[in-house]
Amino acid sequence: MNILSTSVRTIISLALLVGGVFGFLALGKPVVSTRPPDRGALPVVRIVAAEVHQGGIPFEVDGVVVPFREIQLAAQVSGRIEFKSDNCRTGRAVKKGDLLLRIEQSDYDLEVARLQEELNQADAMIQELNVELSTTENQIELAGQQLEIDIRQLKRSEGLLATQAASESELDTARRAELTARNSLQTLLDQKKLLAQRAVRMQSGKALVRANLDKAVLSQQRTEITAPLDGVVIMDNVEQDSYVQLGSPLLTLQDTSQLDVTCKLHMRQMNWLWQANSHANNNPERDSATTGLTEAYDFPQTPAVVTFQLGDISYHWQGVINRYDGSGIDNQTRMVPCRVHVDNPLEITVGESATDSAVAFNPPTLMTGMFVKILIKAQPPISLLKIPQTAIQPGNIVWTVTDGKLKRNVAKIAHSNEQWVIAYQHADGLNAEDAVVISPLATPFDGLAVNALKPNALLPNPTAALGPPADRDRGNEASSDPSSRQTSPAQGDQR
């Protein structure tokens, strides 16, 4: 029984093996295309002409909004705080002239009243002195008249004595009267000079009282602390009923009518601004020996746009980058700290992608601490080119087509975005109207012959853009569909 089953399995196996061999032979040999490889077709590339760029070099840097100025208000007089405004709190906005604090004025009112009375007394004393001076002048006039009478009497006595009509004693009496009148007149003249000097002293005393009164009035006015500008209270240090000394800090205000943005520029970016400033001033070469310190640190003012991104909406403020944020280069980043001044933070421009609801809820103003983008457009007097981003290969290589052959160029890029690249124009490099390749290249090399087409031109041969001919032949050989192995008329013409 075992021998019979073994024989049956052997016969079945042999039958299957023989059937497989006959089936393989019945399939026959595969038909292989005998079309010779097409080695004459040139690679097709798309080209565009490099354009002259006239819009300057726009570049974008990061920035942080900072205050334009902060003012610390201190007590200019001492006393108890008897009033504090509700707006005199951290974070509250105030207007210029708003009353923020008031120090108790009683002592200063009394001082003003006392000095006012002293001033009145000084005026009264000066009036009294003027009356006395006027009286003295009248007495001087009378004494002068008396002296003239005594002089005439003395002369008559001397004449009578000469004729023996008067005695010596009468002459002595006349002389004594004349001397007494002269002495009285001199006394009155000296008294007048003394009164005039007293008038000068009293005028000086009055001026001193007036100065003290003005100081007291000023101190009285300084008991009221008002906002010197439109701003926001960022720090308050006192409360109502507390006592403050002269010079004690009370609060700090931040100016909100103007703001600054701090940023840092690379030296190449600063060089663009310097070149643009020198070109604008018709002074391309600055002589350091003749340039003053002020001119050496004069910043090339350039318009800038400050942008704050809130979700999908962008908000813009117009500003000017107008000064250095210090006097040198940052030691850590080796960049130049700069300041962008925004003159009107309330003037906001909303981006084009904003909807009506987004515009209605835009930020009320530019606020300190915001992280923003700053778009600066330099206008250096250098030749620039504009080429598509697709023309840039790894290593900033740009391929151009000259006389139907590829040429390798290394682009010196000034600025780029997602679509365009702004590069420097050089006599031995890229130039305007050069045919720049914008299509992908597999294995390009200098001198490779290509078929250059404009971007919108139709391909002369659809198979030419598929790759090298050898790759297309291998694809035909791998096809097992007999219909796909048929030669097209176009391919027959190429052969």
Tell me: pLDDT of 169 over 70: yes
Within a domain: 493: no
Task: Tell me the per-residue pLDDT of 455-487, one tens digit each, with 9 for 90 and over.
Answer: 665 555 444 433 443 343 433 333 334 333 333
DSSP 379: -
Same domain, 211 and 302: no
pLDDT at 460: 54
199 backbone φψ class: left, alpha, beta (φ>0; ψ -120 to 50): alpha
DSSP 257: S
Within a domain: 4: no
CATH number, domain containing residue 244: 2.40.50.100
CA 307, 309, 311: angle at the middle one, nearest 5? 165
Tell me: pLDDT of 90 over 50: yes
For the chain, helix, strand, coil in percent to 5 are 40, 25, 35
d(CA 464, CA 441) in angstroms, rounded, equals: 13
pLDDT at 413: 87
pLDDT at 290: 44
Mode of pairing for the β-strands spanning 44-49 and 451-453? parallel
Mean pLDDT of 93-113: 93
Range of lowest pLDDT (50-54, 87-91, 288-292, 365-369): 288-292
**How far is the CA of 456 from the CAs of 45, 141, 405, 433, 452, in angstroms?**
12, 120, 20, 18, 12
Number of structural domains found in the chain: 4
The residue that leads in pLDDT, 83 or 160, is 83
Within a domain: 30: no
Range of lowest pLDDT (3-7, 150-154, 240-244, 432-436): 3-7
d(CA 243, CA 220) in angstroms, rounded, equals: 16
Same domain, 171 and 236: no
Tell me: pLDDT of 166 over 80: no
Same domain, 272 and 322: yes
Same domain, 90 and 228: yes
Q: Give the alpha-carbon dihedral of 75, 77, 80, 82, to 10 degrees.
A: -80
| Three-state secondary structure readout of 110-169 | HHHHHHHHHHHHHHHHHHHHHHHHHHHHHHHHHHHHHHHHHHHHHHHHHHHHHCCCCCHH
Residue pair 222/91 in contact by the 8 Å Cβ criterion: no
Same domain, 314 and 267: yes
Same domain, 321 and 411: no
Task: Tell me the per-residue pLDDT of 229-252, one tens digit each, with 9 for 90 and over.
Answer: 989 999 999 999 999 999 999 999
Same domain, 186 and 97: no
Same domain, 272 and 314: yes
Same domain, 348 and 243: no
Q: How confident is the model at residue 279 (pLDDT cuts 50, 70, 90)?
A: low
In a 10 Å sphere around its CB, with 0-12 CB exposed, 13-18 middle and 19+ buried, how is residue 36 labelled?
A: exposed
Within a domain: 233: yes
Task: Tell me the per-residue pLDDT of 287-329, one tens digit each, with 9 for 90 and over.
Answer: 444 455 556 678 888 999 999 988 888 899 999 999 998 878 8
Q: What is the DSSP string of 171-208?
A: HHHHHHHHHHHHHHHHHHHHHHHHHHHHHHHHHHHHHH
Same domain, 168 and 298: no
CATH number, domain containing residue 194: 1.10.287
Tell me: pLDDT of 367 over 50: yes
Adjacency order of strands within the sheet including 420-424 = 51-52, 384-388, 420-424, 413-416
Mean pLDDT of 42-65: 89
Domain boundary among 204, 221, 238: 221
Within a domain: 458: yes
Range of lowest pLDDT (3-17, 32-46, 168-182, 220-234): 32-46
Tell me: pLDDT of 117 over 70: yes
Sign of the dihedral defined by the CA atoms of residues 255, 256, 258, 261, in that order? positive
Same domain, 217 and 191: yes
The residue that leads in pLDDT, 74 or 475, is 74
Within a domain: 63: no
Q: How confident is the model at residue 2 (pLDDT cuts 50, 70, 90)?
A: low
Within a domain: 17: no
Q: Which long-range contacts (CB under 8 A, 24 or more apart) does 120-128 make?
A: 122/202, 122/205, 122/206, 122/209, 123/206, 125/202, 126/199, 126/202, 126/203, 126/206
Q: How confident is the model at residue 28 (pLDDT cuts 50, 70, 90)?
A: low
Which two tokens mark 443?
């294995």
Same domain, 264 and 374: yes
* Residue 368, domain extent: 259-286+293-378
Q: How confident is the model at residue 5 (pLDDT cuts 50, 70, 90)?
A: confident
Within a domain: 326: yes
CATH number, domain containing residue 433: 2.40.420.20
- pTM to 2 decimal places: 0.63
Domain boundary among 203, 234, 254: 254
Domain boundary among 378, 413, 437: 378
